[in-house]
Amino acid sequence: SERGERLASSPSSSTSLDSGNDSHGCYYAAGDQDPTYHEFGRMIGEALGRRRTRVISSGPIAVWTVAAVLDLSGRVRGKPAFFSIDKAREARAGDWVCSPQKSADQLGYAVAQPLPERLRQTADWYRDEGWL
């Protein structure tokens, strides 16, 4: 039997995404963790095997300045910067949070591994590929 909610094929339908009911028929594949940007930085450090990770708090002017300098430096060297204008946009965007509750309730979906484990797997893959 079908589970979950359907999206209507017609934009004029009351169940379409344009009807003001943004969540109808939309599911988020997400874990239940909601780390802050600092916590996420520390999780990445741990996944990389770092004993200590420094996550620096700074205002928007410093973030954009550092991003621009590193982005330009990376372009001059022909190597991608570890922090760039794009990463600054992500860092300054605000919350990147969604709830997995609807997909869990209606579809029985849950992520297979918690975020720290997935970050460790990603770091291992990067090492195996010679990117770290």
What CA–CA distance (Å, rounded) separates 18 from 115? 32
CB 116 within 8 A of CB 44: no
Question: Which range has the top average pLDDT, 2-6, 10-14, 94-98, 106-110?
Answer: 106-110
Among 127, 107, 119, 123, which Cα is nearest to 4's?
107
Q: What percent of the chain is modeled with pLDDT above 70?
A: 86
Q: How confident is the model at residue 57 (pLDDT cuts 50, 70, 90)?
A: confident
Q: How confident is the model at residue 38 (pLDDT cuts 50, 70, 90)?
A: confident
pLDDT of amino acid 37: 79
pLDDT of amino acid 27: 85
pLDDT of amino acid 13: 44
Is the pLDDT score of 40 beyond 80?
yes
Summarised one tens digit per residue, pLDDT across range 82-108 is 899 998 988 788 777 788 898 899 888
- In the block, tokens 């605000």 appear at 94
Is the pLDDT score of 113 beyond 50?
yes
Is the pLDDT score of 126 beyond 50?
yes
